[in-house]
């Protein structure tokens, strides 16, 4: 991912690694909101955002929240409209907060999608009582294993690192070894502009990611299954759109809904992210169980890899398991470039190296088959096996 000014920031991406906060959008005429700063209710941290009761709220800003409490001014039509717009454009549970709400307004807000209506001025005990059912619902979904599948995101230090080719072969190998355990593997190509993972695997999909996006809220397991294209290895592939799409044409909510559904249907989901940051890239990384950063061993590539790592850390994502994969490593490379210099450039060790073998890899891509069918034993094949073993161990998968 080469652009270093993503549209997402730590305030907007949706985080799965911790309990999400509850956002409060309230005016503060009586100066009582300060008492809520830093507080928790029903196990949720409260994130306070003082604003006028009719000030515009970007629905994207709600995507990282467990819920949002939004003030509604009963006598200001624009304030009521703001709440109704948020309810239509966001899947985040909304709670209205109103001073002396007339019964007719309460009914309007509930019909618009309000989960509850709180009286203003707002009290911590009332927030606690309102959020308790939401907490219990999230706990129930978690215990039911809603997100049982593992997610592996693959990012590139720069274009031309061979990440998609490597990912295709890795996903094939993973599918071959997971199949006997009854676990299916999916490769989801999120490079909506230049993605060609399906093409490199010799597949000609009838449906693509675009069909899932177009389905909107109608997306379900049956549609996901219809959209996947099977590879002879057992791998299921969700191909990138046939026509180029602007990165911003897909929202974080849409991407994460697709990923959530895929992780319910498959044991492991590999995601090929676009080389440039999309407005949902951080949300995908935050959701991932493992991130593979694929880079070449050259000064420009290592510099870009370090910038990627620094950016991820700056967005409070330091807890994510990130492993660096050095791809297309030529014989004798580490004699010319010291391992210590590579570690210093990256700020961490290279976890895996994959040998350069253009003839074998090119033949596998041309035929859409595993490398082992081209050459039973090869350096690149052994390296991909080692990478697959490392991925399985990191995900806690029994072999």
- Edge-to-edge strand ranges of the sheet holding 290-295: 229-230, 236-238, 185-189, 268-272, 150-156, 290-295, 322-329, 352-355
222 in the same domain as 160: yes
Give me the domain span that covers residue 220. 150-395
pLDDT computed for residue 232 by the predictor: 94
Domains contained in the chain, number: 2
pLDDT by position in tens, the chain (length 399)? 333 333 444 444 544 444 678 999 999 777 777 888 889 999 888 989 999 999 999 887 887 688 999 999 999 999 999 999 998 888 789 999 999 999 999 999 998 889 899 999 889 999 999 999 888 877 776 555 454 789 999 999 876 678 999 999 999 999 999 999 889 999 999 999 999 999 999 999 999 999 998 887 778 888 899 999 999 999 999 999 999 988 888 888 888 889 989 998 999 999 999 988 887 898 899 889 999 999 998 888 899 999 999 988 888 777 889 999 999 888 766 656 788 888 899 999 999 999 988 899 999 888 988 898 999 889 999 999 999 999 999 999 865
Query: Which pLDDT score, from 0 to 100, does residue 5 have?
Result: 34
Residue 291 lies in a domain: yes
Whether residue 16 lies inside any domain: the answer is: no
Residues 376-387 have pLDDT tens digits of 889 999 999 999
User: Is residue 340 one of the residues assigned to a domain?
Assistant: yes
**Taking the CA atoms of the chain, what radius of gyration do you get in angstroms?**
24
Does residue 211 sit in the same domain as residue 342?
A: yes
Distance of alpha carbon 398 from alpha carbon 16, whole angstroms: 24
Same domain, 109 and 228: no
Q: Which residue has the tokens 């004699």?
A: 335
Decide: pTM greater than 0.85.
Answer: no
Rounded to whole angstroms, the Cα distance separating 93 from 131 reads 10
Based on the domain organization, do 224 and 321 belong to the same domain? yes
Q: Give the CA distances from residue 46 to residues 19, 35, 65, 262, 327, in Å, rounded to whole numbers and listed in that order.
A: 11, 11, 10, 30, 44
Q: In the prediction, which pLDDT does 275 show?
A: 87
Contact between residue 117 and residue 255 where contact means Cβ atoms under 8 Å apart: no
The per-type count for the chain, helices as H runs and strands as E runs, is: 15, 14
Q: How far is CA 88 from CA 75, 84, 338, in A?
A: 21, 6, 56
Instruction: Quickly tell me which residue has 């990165």 as its tokens.
Output: 247
d(CA 66, CA 46): 10
Q: What is the pLDDT of residues 140-168, one digit of tens each?
A: 765 554 547 899 999 998 766 789 999 99
Asked if residue 113 and residue 191 are part of one domain, the reply reads: no
C-alpha distances out from residue 289 to 219, 322, 395, 396, Å: 23, 9, 7, 10
391 near 174, Cβ under 8 Å? yes
Give domain status of residue 384, yes or no.
yes
Residue 257: Cβ within 10 Å count: 18
Residues 224, 338: one domain? yes
């Amino acid at each position: 991912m080469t652009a270093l000014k993503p549209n997402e920031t730590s305030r907007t991406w949706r985080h799965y690694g911790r309990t999400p906060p509850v956002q409060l959008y309230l005016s503060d005429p009586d100066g009582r909101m300060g008492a809520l700063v830093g507080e928790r209710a029903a196990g949720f941290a409260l994130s306070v955002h003082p604003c006028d009761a009719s000030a515009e709220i970007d629905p994207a800003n709600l995507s990282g929240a467990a819920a949002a409490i939004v003030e509604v001014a009963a006598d200001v039509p624009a304030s009521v409209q703001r709440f109704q717009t948020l309810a239509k454009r966001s899947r985040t549970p909304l709670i209205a907060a109103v001073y002396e709400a007339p019964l007719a307004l309460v009914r309007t807000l509930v019909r618009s999608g309000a989960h509850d209506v709180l009286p203003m001025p707002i009290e911590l005990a009332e927030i606690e009582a309102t959020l308790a059912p939401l907490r219990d619902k999230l706990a129930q979904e978690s215990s039911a294993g809603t997100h049982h599948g593992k997610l592996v995101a693959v990012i590139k230090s720069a274009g031309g690192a061979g990440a998609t080719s490597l990912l295709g072969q890795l996903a094939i190998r993973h599918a071959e070894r997971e199949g006997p355990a009854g676990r299916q593997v999916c490769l989801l190509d999120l490079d909506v502009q230049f993605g060609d993972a399906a093409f490199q695997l010799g597949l000609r999909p009838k449906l693509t990611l675009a069909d899932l996006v177009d389905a909107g809220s109608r997306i379900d397991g049956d549609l996901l299954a219809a959209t996947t294209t099977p590879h002879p290895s057992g791998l299921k592939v969700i191909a990138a759109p046939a026509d180029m799409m602007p990165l911003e044409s897909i929202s974080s909510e849409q991407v994460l809904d697709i990923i959530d559904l895929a992780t319910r249907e498959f044991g492991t989901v590999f995601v090929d992210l676009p080389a440039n940051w999309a407005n949902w890239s951080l949300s995908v990384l935050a959701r991932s169980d493992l991130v593979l950063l694929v880079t070449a061993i050259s000064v420009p590539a290592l510099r870009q890899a370090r910038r990627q790592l620094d950016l991820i850390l700056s967005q409070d994502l330091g807890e994510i398991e990130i492993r660096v994969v050095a791809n297309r490593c030529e014989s004798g490379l580490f004699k010319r470039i010291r391992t210590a210099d590579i570690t210093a450039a990256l700020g961490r060790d290279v976890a895996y190296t994959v040998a350069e073998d253009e003839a074998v890899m090119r033949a596998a891509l041309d035929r859409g088959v595993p490398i082992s069918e081209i050459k039973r034993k090869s350096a690149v094949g052994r390296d991909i096996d080692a990478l697959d073993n490392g991925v399985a161990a990191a995900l806690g998968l029994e072999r």
